[in-house]
Amino acid sequence: MVREQIALVSDVHGNLTALEAVLADIEDRGITRIFNLGDYVGKGPRGRAVIERCRELCEINLLGNWDDFLPDPARTYDDEALRWWLAELGPDQGEWLRGLPFCHDLLVSGRRVRLMHASAETVHRRVRYVKSEGEFLGQFANTDATRAAVGDDAPEPDVVGYADTHDPFYETQFRGRTLFNTGSAGNAMGDPTASYVILDGVLDEPEPAPFALTFVRVPYDVEAELAAARDLGLPQFDGYAAELRHGLYRGAVEEFEAGEFTLDSYYHAST
């Protein structure tokens, strides 16, 4: 049996500086397989370049909520920032984003692993670290969205990895169900250092074998990223700076500065 490692990256959000730091760390570890769980664009200034790098290097690219709604041709925007992020994309990139698969299944060390961006139902439903038992179990369900991606006959997974909330965590419950979140490579909250996960095990092995998930934090030059954002004329620059420097969603900055910041503020600010 030969063990392999796969790097799981997500929520880069146009932060090319963070992405390059994460990619350098992955390469330094000798890992050659990279899967991306979505949200390449929005928030940061260089979605086009992030997409180019991920198309070049990521073996699997999955759909995120920003990837779905930002280039939606049925939408019209009266928001300066959304128009700016959309205009920054390359000619075919919006179509590429919206055509990405919803989820991806693989067998690792006797465990069926499902990777997706947000919830099992839709990329637009958020499942937080603090959740109900129903929300936990719902992440393992086969839904219309998962069936469309992996087929009607796919078994329910034993392990689910997702992203979206920018909060990395690992949780197990009865019967070995394991749920984990990769955190965010480009817009990490709480600890603003770039985050990704290494999946380690024997691929395509139906029998139990050693299995590991390693959470990695990668420092990067935040001020260089903010300088690039400023030079490119990124809208909502102050909010972006607060997120990268302090790991606070831009909607919670005023409360933080006034000494009124709470966990409720943290969980309900927009991602």
Average pLDDT, integer, range 150-169:
96
Pairing of strands 212-218, 103-108: unpaired
Least confident interval from 30-34, 133-137, 197-201, 265-269 = 265-269
Residue 216 scores a pLDDT above 70: yes
Residue 15 has pLDDT above 50, yes or no: yes
The percentage of residues in the chain with a pLDDT greater than 70, rounded to a whole number, is 92
Residue 202 pLDDT: 98
Return the pLDDT at 151.
Answer: 96
Question: What rounded mean pLDDT belongs to the chain?
Answer: 92
Cα dihedral sign, 44-269-37-85: negative
Segment 70-91, tens digit of pLDDT: 999 998 888 999 999 999 999 9
Q: Is the pLDDT of residue 231 over 60?
A: yes
pTM of the entire predicted model: 0.93
Which pLDDT belongs to residue 262? 54
DSSP category for residue 152: T
CATH fold of 3-268: Purple Acid Phosphatase; chain A, domain 2 (3.60.21)
Helix (H) or strand (E) holding 159: strand 159-162
Token pair, residue 71, equals 């280039």
Q: With 80 as the cut, is the pLDDT of residue 199 above it?
A: yes
pLDDT band at 255 (very low <50, low <70, confident <90, very high): low
HSE-CB of 4 using CA atoms within 13 angstroms: 14
Average pLDDT over residues 26-38: 98
Does 267 have pLDDT greater than 50?
no
